[in-house]
Structure 1
Amino acid sequence: MTREPEVTIVQRRLTGYRVQFFERLRALLAAEGVRLRLLHGAPTPLEATKRDGGHLPWAEHVRTRYLAGDRLCWQSFGAQTRSSDLVVVTQENKLLYNFVAMTVARPPRLAFWGHGANLQAADRDNWKERVKRWTTCKVDWWFAYTELSAGLVQQQGFPPERITVLDNAIDTNQLARWCASIDEQRRVQLRAQWGLRGRHVGIFLGSLYADKRIDFLLDAAEEIRRRVPDFELLVVGAGPLRAMVEAFCARHPWAHYLGPRTGLEKAEALAVAHVMLNPGLVGLGILDAFACRVPMLTTDCGRHSPEIAYLEQGRNGWMVPDSMMPFVEAATMLLTQEDLRAQLQVGCGISAGRYTIEGMARRFADGVGQCLGAPPLGQKALAWKT
């Protein structure tokens, strides 16, 4: 009698925003007769301060040790995955046991889940990126975050037919419902509460750190205000550059710092905004723009995460060359030209329906089935153990 195939995903740590994805994936695989196991370790002390960890009662813990000031991580998951027909790990150089799994303790099938490169690396040819490129073709399958990630993997010679593009997503369904439920009367109340007097509002939503280019944002905001006299800026988020934002808002009464906001409070901030201003790194925050129909404006800064692939120029967002004046001019247009903004809002709605956590789970499940049905690279297919 053929036994039920077993797939194990190994995560360095389990974050809260992934919990619903894993629940959906587990149900989809179970319906196809495949057992999903999830192994995860503990965060670093710094990561623990974020309080963004998740919990799943069926997930299993794997012992985690951090070394070299948390720059390296040892998670010896071999003993816990001996019965697994496929093991999926994230492609991170710091995960030392990955190198063991790729060589002396290789499971029947091994897959990477990842970006394809460190897209924020200042030097794409440093030794860390060279090591990552070397490992890219050492697995049997790839679960790539986006089409951008898939392209990077293919550039290293990995077979395209063994790449599953996931369209990485988080659950924005509730956020979209909250945004849709906020009527004009509530918007008036929120504007009064936050001291907004202008009719043209831009919002920055995200963590306040260097890759987000907060200094660029604030300089651009001053120039936008000169061109659009009733422009106002909302900044939502927290991080090491918070003091810079607070000082700027103290000097400019038309700039408002709301601090970190989640859930309904985040939806309320988005509901009063006309455009999302993010000149630096763009990641999963683009899904918030889609869900609440607030078009995003960014720059071609070279720091973006793979989700930048979701931005379709002139359809659901706008990207300009990486300099101040193009950014300011585009922001001015998006704030003052209602027809242009309405066109982008329609595109945001279409994209919100495409990039969903349900779709991501379905694509992952399909990729698992394809991987299990294919022989390991360069080897004959392995029969299921009986």
Structure 2
Amino acid sequence: MRVLIVHNILWAHYKSSVFQALQQLVDKQINVDMKVLQIARNERSRAGIETTANTDGETTAAPAYQYNYELLFDRFAEDIGVVERTRALLQRAKAYKPDVINLTGYYDPAQLMLLVWAKRRGIRVIIQNESTVADHERGGWKERLKRWIFSQCDGFFCFGSSSADYLIQLGVRPEQILLRKSAVDNNALLSAYQRALPTRLAQQKALGLCANNFVFVGRLIDFKNLPSLINAFAEARRQSIESAGWGLIMLGDGPQYDALIRQVANLNLSDWVKILPGRPWFKVPDVLALANVLVLPSRSEPWGLVVNEAMACGMPVLVSNRCGCVQDLVHDGQNGLVFDPDQPAQLTRSLLRFMQNEVNAAQMGQLSQRIIAPYAPEMVAQEMLDGFKKIV
């Protein structure tokens, strides 16, 4: 069995950890081979966060993942035309002669051309789906096109139950869904988090942070719903006499930065809300170690991998019910709390429950680690390999 995987960008570390685990499984198999075609090195919007500088001035590179891949274009994904992508994918596929192809998604015309090419030659096709019903408005010709695309596929790898449910609504048979998980490098993240914990108090003091903190990690963009998070935090501070020791950390870059800084100043929260510049994924645990609870308040989110990252570090999570991961990862009242992003009072109340010690945060964090354990790269890779075998 020859497996060809098409992926968009080499930078996507969470996929690389799965591909490495899959490669290790494949290497133990007889008559099984795999190759990953990485179309581009990175996206322009994520440029500059592959490495970062330590406090001593040394540059730390990202962990290296080992698997059989070819980088088709050593430039940004946005700079690669459809014709270029199509020609390169078809050329490599013809040369490799796969039995099954795993495509990244349904939105790239070049990969759809590869789908048509494969179907004409009897090659099995598995497509990855991250989308859910809730993350965008659904309907019209786009949904009809997706129905046709999915009808041409033999199997599906989904980010979770919500994305699987969406496919079933579009006519996919439940038995065609071969995977309902997403993974990050749980072990690498936890190791980095544990290394950072001993310096927590010193780093909090150096950055002017509170002893207890909520933390958001992600791009500072509209659908992340960050103005509402700041307002909810301000209201929670107003309502609780226990709020003095609590702050809010926002880790990321994006077009809303200036507006958020102004909002923080206008609410007189500059001593309690800190916006820190974005950093590579393998340095994010350094900031998680300065906080107590992750908050993801998005109005739209296909999954929310930062929730995996925080849970791998043993943190409780506050997550919007519009995030695809909620159905699988967040057990409301057990390892975190779920809220409606269109109901600000719900978010305020969730923040207050932690500020006022109405929940057992340590116990929630321990449960987070137990829940996220099956969402490890090794587990996801095994299910992918089983799926390839079933389809072929």
TM interval, short-chain normalised: 0.7 to 0.9
Q: What whole-Å deviation, never above 9, does each CA across 1:8-57 have from its counterpart, x for those lacking one?
A: 01123322402232122122123122100112222687357355599868
- The equivalent position to 1:6 in structure 2, one of 2, 6, 13, is 2
Q: What whole-Å deviation, never above 9, does each CA across 1:252-308 have from its counterpart, x for those lacking one?
A: 2211122223467532322232222221146100012202222111233x3x24576
Question: One-letter code of the match for 1:136?
Answer: F
8 Å CA contact 1:28–1:362 kept in 2: the answer is yes
Instruction: Measure, in 2, the Cα distance between the counterparts of 1:113 and 1:67.
Output: 18
- The equivalent position to 2:251 in structure 1, one of 215, 231, 236, is 236
User: 1:111 maps to what in 2?
Assistant: 126
The alpha-carbon distance between structure 1 residues 146 and 201, as it changes in their structure 2 partners (threshold 3 A), is same
SS in 2 for 1:257: strand
Q: Does 2:192 match 1:178?
A: yes
User: 2:260 maps to what in 1?
Assistant: 245
SS in 2 for 1:42: strand
Which deviates the most, 95-104 or 60-69?
60-69
Matched ranges for 1:1-386 at <5 A: 5-17=1-13, 18-33=15-30, 34-42=32-40, 46-47=44-45, 49=47, 52=50, 58-62=68-72, 74-76=85-87, 77-82=89-94, 83-99=97-113, 101-102=115-116, 105-117=120-132, 120-121=135-136, 123-183=137-197, 186-197=199-210, 199-228=211-240, 229-230=243-244, 231-250=246-265, 251-252=268-269, 253-262=271-280, 265-280=283-298, 281=301, 283-300=304-321, 302=322, 304-305=323-324, 309-321=328-340, 322-337=342-357, 339-372=359-392
Q: What whole-Å deviation, never above 9, does each CA across 1:134-154 have from its counterpart, x for those lacking one?
A: 211211111222122222222
The alpha-carbon distance between structure 1 residues 143 and 106, as it changes in their structure 2 partners (threshold 3 A), is farther
Instruction: Measure, in 1, the Cα distance between the counterparts of 2:328 and 2:176.
Output: 20
The alpha-carbon distance between structure 1 residues 336 and 140, as it changes in their structure 2 partners (threshold 3 A), is same
SS in 1 for 2:36: strand
SS in 2 for 1:148: helix
Instruction: Measure, in 2, the Cα distance between the counterparts of 1:276 and 1:111.
Output: 33
Which deviates the most, 41-50 or 167-176?
41-50
Q: What whole-Å deviation, never above 9, does each CA across 1:82-137 have from its counterpart, x for those lacking one?
A: 3111111122223344145336744421111222557532x200433332232112
SS in 2 for 1:41: strand
TM-score, normalising length: structure 2: 0.82
Choose between structure 1 and 2: higher helix proportion.
2
Question: One-letter code of the match for 2:2?
Answer: E
Which deviates the most, 48-57 or 265-274?
48-57
**Which stretches in structure 1 are left out of the alignment for 5+ residues?**
373-386
Instruction: Measure, in 1, the Cα distance between the counterparts of 2:229 and 2:40.
Output: 35
TM-score, normalising length: structure 1: 0.83
Question: One-letter code of the match for 1:319?
Answer: V
Instruction: Measure, in 1, the Cα distance between the counterparts of 2:373 and 2:236.
Output: 32
The alpha-carbon distance between structure 1 residues 105 and 118, as it changes in their structure 2 partners (threshold 3 A), is farther
Which deviates the most, 337-346 or 204-213?
337-346
The alpha-carbon distance between structure 1 residues 25 and 307, as it changes in their structure 2 partners (threshold 3 A), is farther
Q: CA RMSD in A?
A: 3.1
8 Å CA contact 1:118–1:129 kept in 2: the answer is no
SS in 2 for 1:309: helix
The alpha-carbon distance between structure 1 residues 260 and 357, as it changes in their structure 2 partners (threshold 3 A), is same
Instruction: Measure, in 2, the Cα distance between the counterparts of 1:44 and 1:269.
Output: 24
User: 2:59 maps to what in 1?
Assistant: none
8 Å CA contact 1:190–1:268 kept in 2: the answer is no
How many residue pairs were aligned? 363
Instruction: Measure, in 1, the Cα distance between the counterparts of 2:41 and 2:222.
Output: 22
Instruction: Measure, in 2, the Cα distance between the counterparts of 1:24 and 1:332.
Output: 41
The alpha-carbon distance between structure 1 residues 125 and 43, as it changes in their structure 2 partners (threshold 3 A), is farther
8 Å CA contact 1:93–1:131 kept in 2: the answer is no
8 Å CA contact 1:201–1:274 kept in 2: the answer is yes
Question: One-letter code of the match for 1:324?
Answer: P
8 Å CA contact 2:41–2:76 kept in 1: the answer is no
8 Å CA contact 2:49–2:278 kept in 1: the answer is no
The alpha-carbon distance between structure 1 residues 10 and 291, as it changes in their structure 2 partners (threshold 3 A), is same
Q: What whole-Å deviation, never above 9, does each CA across 1:193-236 have from its counterpart, x for those lacking one?
A: 12234x44211111111111111111112112112331311111
Q: What whole-Å deviation, never above 9, does each CA across 1:330-354 have from its counterpart, x for those lacking one?
A: 1100232264323321211212322
**Which stretches in structure 2 are left out of the alignment for 5+ residues?**
51-61
Question: One-letter code of the match for 1:277?
Answer: V
Question: One-letter code of the match for 2:47?
Answer: T
Which deviates the most, 59-68 or 358-367?
59-68
